[in-house]
Chain A
Amino acid sequence: MRYIIEKMGPELRQYLFNNNNEGKPFHRREFEFVYKAGKYNDRMIGYGSERDFHESGLYVVNNMFPKLRDEIKVDQQPKVKTKLYKIDNEKLFSRKEHREEGELDPFYLTDDEAIVLGENTARHPFKIKGLIGQSAMSFGSLGDHAITALSEGLGMAGGTWMNTGEGSVSPYHLKGDVDIIMQISPGLFGVRTKDGDFSWEEFKKKSDNDQIKAFELKVAQGAKQRGGHVDGKKITKEIAEIRKVEQGKDVNSPNRFHGINNGKEFLEFLEQLRDVGGKPVGMKIVVGNQEQVESLMKAMKETGIIPDFITVDGGNGGTGASYYELADSVGLPTFAALPMVDELLKKYDLRERTHIIASGQLLTPDKIVMALALGADMINIARGFMLSVGCIMAEVCHTNNCPTGVATTDPKLQQALSIEEKKYRVCNYLLALREGVFEMAAVAGIDSPTKFTREHVVLKDQLQEVSNRKDYSYIS
């Protein structure tokens, strides 16, 4: 009996016992936000907030004289053709809805506000007209149906990017017309020789692909600050070919790149990649403390080699499979790490020469705006997009038994995930996010979300005292 109740516990909590703001890692209202945005492109709620305003937390600063809609710098052309759900009737035991074709505003940044990665460093800079993209998710961790739906949905929305995760570029990532950031981890999947060394030949092949716009070197990720592990049973023939590993055998990534022992060596490798590939190259880090980040900044200053972007993943970031102790207790959360990196870049006069991408539980416009205000230039979302293709947070990603066919390579389970239906949800969710972010910019009195600064966010504590997050004088 105890076993049965324990087994049913997560479902019981999720559906019956947790209140709307209690669930972890995402509570019901966040979950609902993604589903509603994906199906109806709708962000409305009724009656008011359920946030506990007595608790301490961050708040976005509104302006007494917000921007009017026509004062906002936004590019709304071309419109995005998508499909949206319309509710026919909604009763307790009968609920009917149908899909209709529709046109949505894309909410692109204007050309002068667009972000360009590698503008002065790469032969092929990467111009981005949307602030939000898909964070690293590998083929193998997610199935081909999920990757295809994401690729096609993001491609429809345009102005965004898709990070391949460390599992290299699969044909499914390339199915939609979406710009790709290829991640390279210490496992060197997709760019390795048979012996596991870095293959410049394979790297050149990848960088010659027009759809691949940039590369990201993964130093760490929020949920596991060590090398990844892929179970042999997940290494199918196809995955083995894509990753350049042996079929059916367990794969363990090293904890760091072989032969790279310090910041200087790492940056030299990064520069070499940029030279050979001609594309922007960034890095993904998890912040432990100020000294660690500062040593990296010093190395950048000394070598003059600056990554085109730095992805700051919070310790609260997600993953398909990790270890309890790493997921829970290692690495600072996003909102603590961001201002530290931002401030240290400023301290070493590097801020104007790179871009910060933030990730870690940022799946609603308000959280995105807070990250932008705390120092981010762009946002990566992984689990939000997983929810948009049908994830129900069953938390079994590591077992290959995902009931919704998202985080599994099992063909039978994947049959459940209809690419034709879910790609529209991906597109609608992203457009709803962008609209929400632009609307919050207007409320904050700025004409573009690229102009959020630390003045736009305050911290209110339990004593109801307010402090501004621009005070980082301790970083001297």
Chain B
Amino acid sequence: MFSLIEGGYCYYDVYRQREEIEMENALLIVIVSLIAVLILIPLLVLLRIYLFDVKQDEHSILRNYPLLGRCGIS
């Protein structure tokens, strides 16, 4: 929505436009962060389990097949 007051744009519109951009940016950050969290947290959890499996000495299968070996551990 354009208005011709003071050479093309009114301050109100400029303000709104900037606000929209900021909101868009914020939304983008939230979405990216959310995606990052959704991917990173499981990855970190898996990494932690992986390291635990490799380091522990109780289950041979887990040492040879970290993570994957958990499917068959009795």
Would you call A404 and B57 a contact (CB within 8 A)? no
A11 at interface by CB-CB < 8 Å: yes
B64 at interface by CB-CB < 8 Å: yes
Would you call A416 and B60 a contact (CB within 8 A)? yes
B6 at interface by CB-CB < 8 Å: no
Would you call B60 and A420 a contact (CB within 8 A)? no
Most chain A CB inside 10 Å of its own CB: which residue of B57, B63, B64, B65: B64
Would you call A421 and B65 a contact (CB within 8 A)? no
Would you call B74 and A416 a contact (CB within 8 A)? no
Q: Which of B9-27 contact A (CB under 8 A)?
A: none
A187 at interface by CB-CB < 8 Å: no
In the complex, 17 of the A-B residue pairs with CB atoms within 8 angstroms, ordered by the A residue number, are A11-B72, A15-B72, A15-B74, A392-B72, A403-B60, A403-B64, A403-B65, A404-B64, A405-B60, A405-B63, A405-B64, A415-B63, A416-B63, A416-B64, A417-B60, A418-B57, A418-B63
Chain A residues near B (Cβ < 8 Å)? 11, 15, 390, 392, 403-406, 413, 415-418, 420-421
Q: Which residues of B contact A403 (CB under 8 A)?
A: 60-61, 64-65
Q: Which residues of B contact A416 (CB under 8 A)?
A: 60-61, 63-64
What is the distance, in angstroms, from A230's C-beta to the closest C-beta of chain B?
Answer: 24
Please, which residue of chain A has its CB at the minimum distance from the CB of B59?
A: A390
What is the distance, in angstroms, from B63's C-beta to the closest C-beta of chain A?
Answer: 4
**Number of B positions contacting A (CB below 8 A):** 10
Which 5 residue pairs are nearest across A and B when measured between Cβ atoms? A418-B57, A416-B63, A404-B60, A416-B60, A416-B64
What is the distance, in angstroms, from B74's C-beta to the closest C-beta of chain A?
Answer: 7
Chain B residues near A (Cβ < 8 Å)? 57-61, 63-65, 72, 74
Please, which residue of chain B has its CB at the minimum distance from the CB of A425?
A: B58
What is the distance, in angstroms, from B33's C-beta to the closest C-beta of chain A?
Answer: 28
Q: How far is the CA of A152 from the CA of B3 in the complex (A)?
A: 90
Q: Which residues of A contact B74 (CB under 8 A)?
A: 15
Would you call B57 and A421 a contact (CB within 8 A)? yes
What is the distance, in angstroms, from A45's C-beta to the closest C-beta of chain B?
Answer: 16
Q: Which residues of B contact A418 (CB under 8 A)?
A: 57, 60, 63
Q: Which residues of A contact B72 (CB under 8 A)?
A: 11, 15, 392
What is the distance, in angstroms, from A298's C-beta to the closest C-beta of chain B?
Answer: 49
Q: How far is the CA of A415 from the CA of B63 in the complex (A)?
A: 8
Would you call A415 and B57 a contact (CB within 8 A)? no
Q: How far is the CA of A198 from the CA of B3 in the complex (A)?
A: 109
What is the distance, in angstroms, from A38's C-beta to the closest C-beta of chain B?
Answer: 11
Please, which residue of chain B has its CB at the minimum distance from the CB of A146?
A: B60
Q: Which residues of B contact A420 (CB under 8 A)?
A: 57
What is the distance, in angstroms, from A412's C-beta to the closest C-beta of chain B?
Answer: 8
What is the distance, in angstroms, from A318's C-beta to the closest C-beta of chain B?
Answer: 19
Q: Which residues of B contact A390 (CB under 8 A)?
A: 59-60
Please, which residue of chain A has its CB at the minimum distance from the CB of B64?
A: A416
What is the distance, in angstroms, from A397's C-beta to the closest C-beta of chain B?
Answer: 14
Would you call A404 and B61 a contact (CB within 8 A)? yes
Q: Which residues of B contact A413 (CB under 8 A)?
A: 64
Q: How far is the CA of A418 from the CA of B61 in the complex (A)?
A: 11
Q: How far is the CA of A404 from the CA of B62 in the complex (A)?
A: 9
Please, which residue of chain B has its CB at the minimum distance from the CB of A391?
A: B60
Would you call B61 and A392 a contact (CB within 8 A)? yes
Q: How far is the CA of A416 from the CA of B54 in the complex (A)?
A: 9
A413-B64, A416-B64, A418-B57 given; 5 more Cβ-contact pairs under 8 Å? A404-B61, A415-B64, A416-B61, A418-B60, A418-B63
Please, which residue of chain B has its CB at the minimum distance from the CB of A85?
A: B58
Q: How far is the CA of A17 from the CA of B58 in the complex (A)?
A: 26
Q: How far is the CA of A415 from the CA of B60 in the complex (A)?
A: 8
Q: How far is the CA of A418 from the CA of B57 in the complex (A)?
A: 6
What is the distance, in angstroms, from B53's C-beta to the closest C-beta of chain A?
Answer: 10
Q: How far is the CA of A2 from the CA of B7 in the complex (A)?
A: 76
What is the distance, in angstroms, from B44's C-beta to the closest C-beta of chain A?
Answer: 18
Q: How far is the CA of A328 from the CA of B63 in the complex (A)?
A: 34
What is the distance, in angstroms, from A109's C-beta to the closest C-beta of chain B?
Answer: 33
Q: Which residues of A contact B63 (CB under 8 A)?
A: 405, 415-416, 418
Q: Which residues of B contact A15 (CB under 8 A)?
A: 72, 74
What is the distance, in angstroms, from A301's C-beta to the closest C-beta of chain B?
Answer: 49
Please, which residue of chain B has its CB at the minimum distance from the CB of A39?
A: B58
* Residue among B58, B61, B64 making CB contact with A421, cutoff 8 Å: B58
Q: How far is the CA of A55 from the CA of B57 in the complex (A)?
A: 41
What is the distance, in angstroms, from B59's C-beta to the closest C-beta of chain A?
Answer: 8
